[in-house]
Structure 1
Amino acid sequence: MAGEPQITVIGNLTADPELRFTANGAPVASFTVASTPRTLDRQTNEWRDGEAMFLNCSVWRQYAENVAESLSKGMQVIVHGKLRSRSYETREGQKRTVFEIDVDEVGPTLRYATAKVTKTSGGGGGNRGGGGGQWQGNQNQGGGGDSWSSSGSSDRNRGGDDPWGQPSQSDEPPF
């Protein structure tokens, strides 16, 4: 549907992404992001947390499998996608409306962590049939020294069709 509002949210995963499969075998990963606004109280010069907002998110196909393998509870992530509303009626007859994000892009924030990206094989994936970038590793939940460590081998020096994996003969980026 054209004209759907786009939204970008930064928050923490409330649980590990749940990977399921449709009756046709298409993978879908669902996860919830908790985002809490913070404001500075100028009189006391202290940060105050606002009311947390919980947004359900879903991502499809190979992208869903990458998300389920790469992200876990507590990680701070950036999520970008289409904001959708869905109305339903409870068993008690109450009408409810929920807002969900149909994810276009998701990944860990790098403000308090580092990450090593491992390109997935197959080249498919993504909601738009885009490239197959993948985040791998485990994020430590400590303080500012959080880090990601790669759990797989790196495509960095393998070459192939990845222009960033090629040794460069110039200082110019390959695009």
Structure 2
Amino acid sequence: MSETVAVRGFVVTEPRHLVTEGGLPITSFRLVTTRRRYNRQASAWEDGGSNWYTVSAFRRLALSAAECIAKGDPVLVSGRLCLREWVGEKQGMTVEIEAESIGHDLTWGRSQFTRAVAPGAAEDVATPPDGIPAASP
């Protein structure tokens, strides 16, 4: 199964960054989402069930995630949902998100964007996607 999802949650492990023998950067971490609802009778917020995901980022996103994301950060993740069955002493299923984008959830704080410079490009020249003007210095 592979579907695009957007998930809001908290990073619960230190991101793990590695580069494969073929030179592919990969960063992964665990993410938890917890449903909350307001109980009017108790006049208090209550936690519902939690969902746990393994988030994997590749290439440029992996490099940025390794530098910017830390355990405890509130984040928004968008990507392809992958359900993977596994068999060991027991049988189970892992829910993984192959991230297409990751960002801090600004509901909880502030973040400042710094454009990444492509490898081999001049430090002062950042190339934004077509149609988006470059920020002036």
Quickly name the TM-score band, shorter chain normalised. 0.7 to 0.9
Q: Report the AA paired with residue 115 of structure 2.
A: K
Q: Report the AA paired with residue 114 of structure 1.
A: R
Unpaired segments ≥5 residues, structure 2: none
Any residues of structure 2 matched to 1:67-146 within 5 Å, and which?
67-90=65-88, 92=89, 94-122=90-118
Structure that is richer in strand per residue: 2
Q: How many residues are treated as equivalent by the alignment?
A: 131
Three-state SS of the structure 1 residue aligned to 2:97 is strand
Displacement after TM superposition at 1:45 (Å):
2.2
Residues 41 and 30 of structure 1, relative CA distance in 2, 3 Å threshold: same
Find the structure with the greater CA-based Rg: 1
Q: Report the AA paired with residue 108 of structure 1.
A: H
Runs of 4+ with >2 A deviation: 158-162
What is aligned with 1:133? none
Unpaired segments ≥5 residues, structure 1: 124-154, 168-175
Q: Report the AA paired with residue 23 of structure 1.
A: E
What is aligned with 1:166? 136
What is aligned with 2:21? 23
What is aligned with 1:173? none
Q: Report the AA paired with residue 95 of structure 2.
A: F
TM-score under structure 2 normalisation?
A: 0.85
Deviation per CA, 1:31-67, whole angstroms, max 9, x where unpaired? 1111111011122221101122211010001210110
Three-state SS of the structure 2 residue aligned to 1:116 is coil
Three-state SS of the structure 2 residue aligned to 1:67 is helix
* Distance in 1 of aligned mates of 2:91 and 2:108: 40
* Distance in 1 of aligned mates of 2:87 and 2:125: 54
Instruction: Give the superposed CA RMSD.
Output: 2.3
What is aligned with 1:6? 4
